[in-house]
Amino acid sequence: MKSLHRGIIEEKPLYWIPPVALVILLGLFLTFKRYFYGLGSVTALNDYQPWGLWVGFDVLCGVALAAGGFVLTGIVHLLNFERYKSVVRPTVLSAFLGYILVSVGLLYDLGKPWNIWHPLVMWNPHSVMFEVAWCVMLYSTVLALEFSPVVLEKLGSWRILRIVRALTLPMVITGILLSTLHQSSLGTVFLIVPKKLHHLWYTNLLPVHFFLSAVSVGFAMVILESFVSHHLFKKSLETNVLLDLGQFMVVALMLMLIVRIQDVSFKIGWKNVYDGTIESWAFMTEMACFVLPLLLVFIYRNRMKMGIIVLSAAFTMAGVVLNRLNVSIIGMARSGGFRYFPSWEEFFLSFFLVTMGVLVFILCVKFLPIFPEEPAEEKPAE
């Protein structure tokens, strides 16, 4: 039964080691350069566009893509959809790692990362960023606690385990509240730039958009991660569970689209959306990524297959990633005079962080009881 956890690490040859080692070496070198020679030495950031790929991707996308943690623990523990339990652990683990990556990403992006703890003692409740900082900090703690049973089980500390388990519900509720707050607040962050952010994205509903898209992509990520784990770790795929989660995703997507479509109709008018600029293309691509899953699910509604759900989830993820980049980079570029395009170092260090995250995930799967021991015990739905 243990062998089930092994997957790629032992069964496959070690051909992946050299490229990964190379990524790590180059990553470390660029890290050194960034900390000793300043942000300008590795990024294309400038005074006209002070936020780039690291904020747009590492932080905004990172937080959104880690939303699987709160949506899944929510439906499993609060709404009591117990049959999804088997995916809770991997999801919580990836959410936890996601938030760690976000924090590490921030350590790269902040000009003076050694002051990252300052919001703890230097308060400015008028700042959205202050609120986000607190929520992310607290939520990371919640995720750590939610994940701790896995480690405690392994260590056999049954007494602490009992305490942590008794706290499950309050923790889940706190987690949902904190997530709701900071997922939406990342949209609020951009409310302060009404004239700088392109009108296709600027709306006072930004917090709502950010929250609903985070929920959608939360489900999408659970689906995608299960699918990838299935191939990577040779896990049995719980098709029913994923198809169900796909439904949740579709509902969340519809909600988000309704809000956005109303918003665009009232504020901008659809005929004004396309004007040939790069922004309008970016906006339409983003919208397409959100509409396509709905179309797919609608067309195949009677012949629902795993592939369709996975594809829909992939589109949702692409849409949310694009949305965050649109709001933080593409939509801001015009006001900065189009003077920024991420440097290869920025791309590479982001890639480096993601690689490290995946590596840690694989190690956790190898050494900790992440996936259920008896993968075949799936119950027929209903």
Identify the CA nearest to 381 among candidates 317, 313, 308, 304.
304
One residue of 149, 246, 293, 342 binding another protein per CB under 8 A = 149
- d(CA 133, CA 355) in angstroms, rounded, equals 25
CA atoms within 13 A on the CB side of 166: 6
Instruction: Identify the residue among 122, 158, 269, 376 touching another protein (CB under 8 A).
Output: 122
**What are the beta bridge partners of residue 46?**
49
Cβ-based nearer residue to another protein, 19 or 50? 50
d(CA 295, CA 14): 41
Least distance (Å) between residue 365 CB and another protein? 16
Does 113 help bind another protein (rule: CB under 8 A)? yes
Cβ neighbours of 72 (radius 10 Å): 26
Q: Select from 53, 100, 136, 176 the one that contacts another protein (CB under 8 A).
A: 176
Other CB atoms within 10 A of residue 259 CB: 17
* Measured CA angle at 31 (ends 29, 32), to 5 deg: 65
d(CA 379, CA 382): 8
Q: Give residues 203-242 in contact with another protein (rule: CB under 8 A).
A: 204, 207
**Distance of closest approach, residue 52 Cβ to another protein, in angstroms:** 10
Residue 127 touches another protein, criterion: CB under 8 A: yes
- Pick the stretch among 105-113, 236-244, 268-276, 339-347 that binds another protein (CB under 8 A): 105-113
Residue 131 binding another protein, by CB under 8 A: yes
| Residue 380 found at the interface with another protein (CB under 8 A) | no
- Of positions 12, 154, 165, 305, contacts another protein by CB under 8 A: 165
CB under 8 A: which stretch of 12-20, 172-180, 252-260, 288-296 binds another protein? Answer: 172-180
Residues 6+ positions from 155 with CB-CB distance below 8 Å: none
Stretch that binds another protein, among 11-19, 191-199, 275-283, 318-326 (CB under 8 A): 191-199
Nearest Cα residue to 232 out of 243, 224, 220, 241: 224
Applying the rule CB under 8 A, the residues between 16 and 35 that interact with another protein are 35
Binders in 48-67 for another protein, by CB under 8 A: 48, 50-51
Q: Supply φ then ψ for residue 210, to 5 degrees.
A: -60, -40
Burial class (CB in 10 A: 0-12, 13-18, 19+), 237: middle
Which of residues 82, 274, 344, 347 is near another protein by CB under 8 A? 82
Q: Which is nearer to another protein, 313 or 349 (CB)?
A: 349
Question: Does 301 participate in binding another protein (rule CB under 8 A)?
Answer: no
